[in-house]
Amino acid sequence: MPVSIVSVTPATVLTYGGPPASIAAGAALGALAAPPLAAAPARSLPAHIHPMVAYTATMAVCTAAIVPLLGLCPGF
């Protein structure tokens, strides 16, 4: 699934700059959170709707949730 790295990591880099911590945190948290969250709605879609709809919605939700949460952590 192209969900995790595609959305969260670039958003963390754009928000917090390019230090290795922002890259690693965005990649790790995106890779852990996004695929399981995308799988459930993708399975429940009707057959005539492509699963990419669920993947795109999950990318938006994960990016909107993870990027501000990282701002609460020290060092960001």
Span 1-60, pLDDT tens digits: 555 557 888 999 999 988 898 899 998 998 898 888 888 898 999 999 988 888 889 889
Q: Which residues contact 39 (CB under 8 A, 6 or more apart)?
A: 1
Query: For residue 46, what are the CA distances in angstroms to 42, 60, 74?
Result: 9, 21, 43
Q: pTM for the whole thing?
A: 0.81
State how far the Cα of 47 lies from the Cα of 29, in Å rounded to an integer.
30
Residue 15: its pLDDT value, please? 93
Report the alpha-carbon angle 8-70-24, nearest 5.
55
Query: What confidence score (pLDDT) does residue 1 get?
Result: 53
